[in-house]
Structure 1
């Protein structure tokens, strides 16, 4: 029996859904991206947790342990890796290969592909977050966030800022090699301000106040406050939110599909 055209159209997947499924399959075939976004932050957390001194209470940190500070940092590392390292290279590669230009002539608009990429990297960050919290809690006794709503808000704002930063890097990159270079230049200072090498809370006051003006430095403080059970400072949330808005504006203003 022949299926009516109207019925086939009804059961046909929407173009945006088809793009999301395709991009998901491609994303799963990128073991390097999955490792650096999902596994590496927790692996780093595990290595640091095996250092005896990092599991001892430090009076300089208000009686907390260094490992307690590194669970939020591991979350930030996943966000920065996804937004600053992965996203701009993918988008620039698609543009360089002409994929975005060809999509503009089909029912599938380039924005569908961009939305799929942002959604997939957001899910990868969420998986990394859950993994870091689980290992921190089960292996090292790190407390779960005492203010989960504030913690989630800080994560969302930071993710928006990081993804917009990645799109901005892509906007100013004509080729994939240029995107890789710029992304690397941006990546390491971003990790520093997030506290990967030295937790923001342990930095000298002048340096800490300077770092708090950056999106990831402010986010580190906000996540730390939410972990301790306090609502994150609106100043820190505001700094991260303003950076997110500015970077989204820059990405929208300068990003080109071809």
Structure 2
């Protein structure tokens, strides 16, 4: 077993031992899908969503976007900052194991958790609630990858700058919740004021959600959404790499 696989296994055990993390990551997105899925009319075409079914056109993509946002912006930065605060990263820097291996292990654990919950939302929602599968599967996967890179890029930047887990959690929440409001999560993009509709397609969480909505119903993501996700992923990763502190 390689050192990276050992570190990943340890980080996975720590992730699963914390009851709040699995419950939050799995419980909130699935609960959203389940609660809305059991409401009358949510699986019927709606004029509000251009004749599309609300459960597939909005609720399922929203559940996926919220999942990625929680993992990338709150849980991941807090864990990395906690490792720095406890001196784990500093001790690794004095060992033959590069601290960057721990960062990669953490990313792998979070990405694996995201993949499992996305599969639960897509496949489980389809089997249990009749949620339509993403009609544009290729576009859906592209948006999922870009959205994950963009959101974890922002999370990595938070982790790079936050000195403690408490600070990382606070900063992550301060970034996450405004993105919910301005990205078309709390209120669909179509119901936002015109000046905010463009912003909803630029912010990482909003761009992810709205591009997922497009692909889930058979459309194509807008170039602005894809470009915004690519720029956030690249810029945040580059800045984080320059300012990340291991101790």
Shorter-chain TM-score: which interval?
Answer: over 0.9
Distance 2:61 2:179 in 1: 15
User: Could you list the per-position Cα deviations for residues 48-94 of structure 1 after superposition, in whole angstroms to 9, with x for gaps in the alignment?
Assistant: 12221433322131111322211111111110010001011100010
Q: In 1, distance between residues paired with 2:32 and 2:82?
A: 29
Among residues 61, 77, 80, which one is paired with 2:49 in the alignment?
Answer: 61
Q: Which structure has the greater CA radius of gyration?
A: 1
Q: How many Å separate the matches in 1 of 2:195 and 2:202?
A: 11
Q: 1:36 aligns with which of 24, 29, 32?
A: 24
Whole-angstrom distance in 2 between the partners of 1:80 and 1:131: 17
1:154, distance to aligned residue in structure 2 (A): 0.7
CA shift digits 1:156-207 (9 cap, x unpaired): 1111111121121122212222112111211211223443312224434332
Deviation at 1:248, TM superposition (A): 0.9
1:108 paired with 2:97, answer: yes
Report runs of 4+ in structure 1 exceeding 4 Å deviation.
none
Partner of 2:127: 138
**Cα shift at 1:104:** 1.0
Deviation of 1:230 after TM superposition, in Å, equals 2.8
Q: 2:165 aligns with which of 164, 176, 192?
A: 176
C-alpha contact (below 8 Å) 1:80/1:191 kept by paired residues = no
**Deviation string, structure 1 residues 3-28 (Cα, Å, up to 9, x no partner):** xxxxxxxxxx3222221121122122
Which of 118, 121, 140 is residue 151 of structure 1 equivalent to?
A: 140
Distance verdict in 2 for CA 1:132–1:201, change over 3 Å: farther
- Structure-2 residue corresponding to 1:164: 153
| Aligned length in residues | 246
CA displacement, residues 209-241 of structure 1 (integer Å, 9 cap, x when unaligned): 221121221222211121122332222111111
Aligned-pair distance for 1:32? 1.0
Gaps of 5+ in 1: 1-12
Is the contact between residue 150 and residue 232 of structure 2 (CA under 8 Å) also seen in structure 1?
A: yes
Q: How does 1:76-91 map to 2 (within 5 A)?
A: 76-91=65-80
Aligned equivalent of 1:27, options 5, 15, 20: 15
User: Residue 91 of structure 2: SS of its match in structure 1?
Assistant: helix
TM-score, normalised with respect to structure 2: 0.93
CA drift at 1:139? 3.2
What is the root-mean-square deviation in Å for CA atoms of aligned residues?
1.6
1:221 equivalenced with 2:210 (yes/no): yes
Distance in 2 between the 1:131 and 1:244 partners? 26
Query: Corresponding residue for 1:47?
Result: 35
